[in-house]
Structure 1
């Protein structure tokens, strides 16, 4: 939430989150090493990653490792700003600049002066705002809406996106010159499903944090995960909501856990069915890298599983649908088939109601 304290003084209200940088996976450790290299510089940074992977946490870490660490860190969600609102929020306005502008107001770039501004979902900015942002990066000065005077600023920009900006540039939706200005340094935060070494350390961290917050009702119980729960978290769920979803899952599990050992049934996971699926019954709790797909198929052939082709189709379409956050268009693109075929298979295997509305390309 943003609160206006005074026409010339704005501040951020920080929500208290349990989320933290827990990088134990080898890929995460490599990323942290890169972060430590680029943080002391003044370079703009472009962070790419799915929603919930911790892009703001990484941005805060870059700020904390820089010489600006004692100066402001301002986080702005560009995806929540309309074109008109974005201009006054980012760059400020003068009294009388528009109806309702009853006083002068600093924009977030001025608030962040001397420190770092984090622009999340940068790809959602309109072409008009992109032009003005490019000027700030080039000239290190900002012009408030309704003013003709420039104000010099000293701000490091860290931007983040969950879309491919190169594709956006190619499609004409994002300025190429701004893209290259932003990605002097760039990094990719892998989704949680590709950082399996982080899952249990994160889960244990969240268990500790929420146990402390809930200690008035848990009597300081020391919670642990059952072996089956660990297997679920690491091997049988792909975390479409990433770290944020894992945090919420742990929070829920602690609320309903009947003793000090968290069980599979204590989790409330999107699209997860508590059943012995073809995948679960034949992988027998082995990590996926212990067996090749061909080896597993050979075992299924030996077992003489009835209607194997249909069961495989059901597993593939369900996994792809969950992987794509239940987005039919993205599922179709992932599998290389049409959305009508995806919809038909989802209905066939009971994953979608036949009367569910088909999303248009603009909403999917």
Structure 2
């Protein structure tokens, strides 16, 4: 029987490149210092026993289980779904007990699901003596989210959670899976503002946006909208119809913004980087239609308070904004945006100054 294993998987932010990973696009995420931790112990049985500080009781699942979970147990799709993917890929999967702990807010657009999947993957590897390459591990986790949780996510979250580098964002090409490191200047800080509006991507809006993009790509006879130019898109606006044209316009323009953003950061042009983040938010609001009043208000407030850049982040319909500020003003910015939002809208939000950290890791204690 294998040994006890502890895995810690971070959440992630995404500086720019939203809703483009499933269209083979470019994204620029970074792992952050909020984590899902999994503590696993082999149990010598043909079952996995799952428990979480976020749920009541223990869920006992036979290793051969094939059916997604529903209701209060649906969180287990992100955990046991990964076990099933390792099993189906032919890797050894002995039974184990696992306890999850987290300081990563759920539904805030910080990839709590990918962190849970990745922590599970690492303890599977730990108790079974495996060591998969990061990309293969990420693809197994993505497949679990597709087939067990029913969310047709792209690959960005899993790659960012697995491959984060302290002090850096990752410039990820979601078609080739090529990753380059993008150092973030020390005088800049990232602040996440959680709107406390909770999204549920599996409820269908995410899938609808993805289907719209696939319809547009199919119209042009390509696999991904990345291969369509804006000129070609605009020439077909009448045939596509307004909604599909807007969805595709967001994807094509956002991929271009990521390239420009990376170049602006490299050149030290923070003003240009902020302009691109603002354009990203407008596109997500007007063309992709995945923001909400709370997110729009938070971005407007951030700009009023002097943020270098601000935009919604994640799947949308709630969740968080990502804000780039000067490091020395991060604490004051965080306090002021919470107070100003309460004053203007009567609601409570949470601001978190985050550090950019290394990706998921596994330890095997004595």
Q: TM-score, normalised by structure 2?
A: 0.28
Question: Between Structure 1 and Structure 2, which shows a larger proportion of strand residues?
Answer: 2
Greater Rg over alpha carbons, structure: 1
